[in-house]
């Protein structure tokens, strides 16, 4: 995934311009799923917006669209003087911890802080093994409670090994893909693209899905 840090007094105003969801509705400690929409009403990308710190947002985009999204953001921010961008993709690593045992495993490895809010899309800043970790209750599966961890690249392997030692099992991205299909979550390049209108009827999002074809044939 691509990881962009967008900060400054005009950060929220900029995000209101390029994302379809209301960025100004987020309070520190909250996040939401969103889309990057083009002038034709189609999706340039889908993304997740995290608000961990005041006037500083972390936007997660698809890796295949990282360069394209970055260039689009720079173009759209030309008239804003108090917003800055940093492509933190190579500075921050991202670990998804999903599944029914994810909360128990995560709680067992915290060295500082706690998980204050059990609700989806809530955020916390904690430490694992003494290293700062940003935690979002987000994930692209049907699991009701799951987590995504953001940690500095220098410490990410140590955090990974700590999670594995606590009982987490490494799983490939293909497993995530099957789980997102179970709950009808669209994936860019399949059900979302710059040729499919964002506000098209729901079936449009799944026109390329083999699952939908099977259901229609049935």
- pLDDT tens-digit series, residues 69-88: 999 999 988 888 899 999 99
Q: Which of 58, 87, 116 is the last residue of a domain?
A: 87
Same domain, 199 and 130: no
Asked, for residue 49, whether it belongs to a domain, the answer is yes
| Domain CATH code at residue 33 | 3.30.70.1400
Q: How does pLDDT run across 86-98, given as a tens digit for each residue?
A: 999 999 999 999 8
Cα separation values, 34 from 172, 186, 208, Å:
24, 12, 21
Residue 217 has pLDDT above 80, yes or no: no
Stated pTM of the model: 0.85
Q: What percent of the chain has pLDDT over 70?
A: 87
| Helices and strands (DSSP H and E) totals, the chain | 6, 10
Same domain, 58 and 38: yes
Same domain, 61 and 96: no
Same domain, 187 and 204: yes
| Number of neighbouring beta carbons within 10 Å of residue 80 | 15
Q: Which of 32, 59, 87 is the last residue of a domain?
A: 87
User: For the chain, what is the domain count?
Assistant: 3
- Structural domain harbouring 192: 183-217
Same domain, 96 and 125: yes
Same domain, 107 and 161: yes
* Pair 135, 92: CB distance under 8 Å: no
Same domain, 144 and 201: no
């Amino acid at each position: 995934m691509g990881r962009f840090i967008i900060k400054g007094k005009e950060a929220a105003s900029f995000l209101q311009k390029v994302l379809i969801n209301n960025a100004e509705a987020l309070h520190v400690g909250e996040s939401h799923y969103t889309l990057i929409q083009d002038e034709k009403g189609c999706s340039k990308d889908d993304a997740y917006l995290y608000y961990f710190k005041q006037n500083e947002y972390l936007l997660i985009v698809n890796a295949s669209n990282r360069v394209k999204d970055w260039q689009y953001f720079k173009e759209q921010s030309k008239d804003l003087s108090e917003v800055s961008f940093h492509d933190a993709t190579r500075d921050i690593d991202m670990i998804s911890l999903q599944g029914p045992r994810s909360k128990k495993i995560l709680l067992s490895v915290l060295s500082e802080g706690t998980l204050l809010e059990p609700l989806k899309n809530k955020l916390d800043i904690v430490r694992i093994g003494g290293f700062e970790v940003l935690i979002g209750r987000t994930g692209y599966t049907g699991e009701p409670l799951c987590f995504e961890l953001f940690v500095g690249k220098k410490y990410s392997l140590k955090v990974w090994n700590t999670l594995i030692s606590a009982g987490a099992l490494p799983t490939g991205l293909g497993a995530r893909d099957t789980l997102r299909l179970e709950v009808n979550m669209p994936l860019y390049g399949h059900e979302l693209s710059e040729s499919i209108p964002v506000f098209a009827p729901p079936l449009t999002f799944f026109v390329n899905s083999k699952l939908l074809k099977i259901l229609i044939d049935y």
